[in-house]
Structure 1
């Protein structure tokens, strides 16, 4: 027996949070009976589970790495008709959903999957999965400012956790610098706000790694399936981060 929202998410119905909303709204039935309690459990192998009267089916698990272009919304749909990441997945038969999000103005590595369990692990606040970005900023921040990022900077929603930050490229004329920065949090527009806090606004932001999975040479707007080794690496990254947090708190 498994929790109903987990079964729905694993079947690719929606993210786990959205599935909880569907259950609470009374849109899910188990063996023709409406179930609206979030703690309810069912057996996907023997129970008939339906959403809005349509039985769900267990879909093949897909794990996709996508190089998101700037100006694309990290969502499966958009009420305003703007371009979303799933517009680039037309040939993918199963429904997939973004793991976390990249801002409209941010480009680079985005994972999509219909594996609700893995998506939940990778995005849950307690699993500090590392994410690496290349941030091109105005002017060249001195080493002391990078040290501030490494120790944590104060934002309007509190101090950030320590980040890894180092120079990636420096303009000889000092007009800009590209900094490689790795964070283990997922606050709204966090990297941009961190650089604003040290006085160097971001002009371009690209995510190049997530949980040890690198974007590599994948072209902008293209996607590929993750290998079995990469999927395991993501699971290991989440498990490792969880163990590290436990050790720190003890």
Structure 2
């Protein structure tokens, strides 16, 4: 064999050997990706499910992956075990059956002025309470319960769906006190009748207490009840032949209007949130 042949053979052998080693090296370090069947819920929008869970304060992203794989998480009622699955903020995400929220829980109390709609905007140019609340938070908070357009007073906003749902259950009820101004003076007889309870649409509405307001004409009364039915105060007086000219909710649960002027908001304290959760 000539020098050239030996040289050529050596180079070729080296390339083959080097190529083999390189190929073997690549195979040895390449991650093995298991084949996954795509979930019918898969999408490319939103945020990763593990981040959503971590942001809610349940656990770390690493632990969230384990819980997802174990089937502890559902999205819109369906179990999701796919790593990297993405969800939107409006999706119903539950961990062990409890709905979670990736935003920090917020609890905001508004002293609502008259002339602001609570839901919707039925009149062109009409104002909504969200215009007032959006000035103090970017969170997707919603009002708990309702107040009529011309009604005033305390209105709670939160993104804590669990608490909002609990407070909205009719069987739970929540203490509320209203300052009511009527179109005509309320008679003593009608006041006592309301205090005994009023039947509306076949069911009795329990009134905890009702009284005339000191130093005010008998067109102004205070009424306390636990019912959260819509327009309940207006309907009570309407059934007795009185029109409500002004309605002001001055107490909601243990919350009052103290140091909260009309149109202003404040955040609830930790203890206030705990107290509301006990209702």
Q: Same fold (TM over 0.5)?
A: yes
Alignment partner of 1:180 is 2:217: no
| Structure 1 partner of 2:159 | 114
Consecutive unaligned residues of structure 2, counting only runs of 5 or more, are 1-51, 57-67, 94-100
Aligned to 2:40: none
Work out the CA distance in 2 between the residues paired with 1:125 and 1:47: 40
Equivalent residues, number: 202
- The match for 1:246 is none
Paired with 2:175 and 2:187, the residues of 1 have a C-alpha distance of 24
State the Cα deviation string for residues 6-50 of structure 1 (Å, max 9, x = none).
Answer: x99x97xxxxxxxxxxxxxxxxxx99xx9654xx4669xx88451
Matched, 1:213 2:255: yes
1:84 aligns with 2:128: yes
Seen in structure 2, the aligned counterparts of structure 1 residues 54 and 81 have a Cα distance that, compared at 3 Å, is: farther
| Residue pair 2:170, 2:229 contacting (<8 A) in 1 also | no
CA distance in 2, matches of 1:221, 1:186: 22
| From 166, 181, 189, the counterpart of 2:211 | 166
Q: Which residue of 2 aligns with 1:204?
A: 246
Are the equivalent residues in 1 in contact too, given 2:180–2:246 (CA < 8 A)?
yes
- Using the alignment, how far apart are the partners of 2:259 and 2:221 within structure 1? 19
- CA shift in 2, pair 1:54/1:105, >3 Å: closer
Look up the SS of the partner of 2:148 in the other structure.
coil
CA shift digits 1:51-103 (9 cap, x unpaired): 3899997111110000111111113x547553111111224121211011111
Q: Is the 8 A contact 1:48 1:55 kept in 2?
A: no
TM-aligned CA distance change 1:158 to 1:55, over 3 Å = closer
Match of 1:15 in 2: none
**Superposed structure 1 runs of 4+ greater than 2 Å apart:** 34-37, 40-43, 46-49, 51-57, 77-82, 154-159, 169-172
- Aligned residue number for residue 137 of structure 1: 182
In structure 2, the CA distance between the partners of 1:221 and 1:41, relative to structure 1 (3 Å rule), is farther
CA 186–91 in structure 1, closer or farther in 2 if over 3 Å, else same: closer
State which of 116, 130, 133 in structure 2 corresponds to 1:72.
116
The equivalent of 1:4 in structure 2 is none
User: Gaps (5+ residues) in structure 1?
Assistant: 1-6, 12-29, 239-250
Please report the RMSD computed on the Cα atoms of aligned residues, expressed in angstroms. Answer: 3.3
CA–CA distance in structure 2, aligned partners of residues 229 and 215 of structure 1: 17
Q: For the structure 1 residues 41 and 226, does the alpha-carbon distance in structure 2 shift closer, same or farther, using more than 3 Å as the test? A: farther
SS in structure 2 at match of 1:163: strand
Q: Which residue of 2 aligns with 1:21?
A: none
Question: What is the distance in 2 between the residues matched to 1:157 and 1:92?
Answer: 42
1:169/1:178 contact within 8 Å kept: no
When normalised by structure 1's length, the TM-score is 0.70
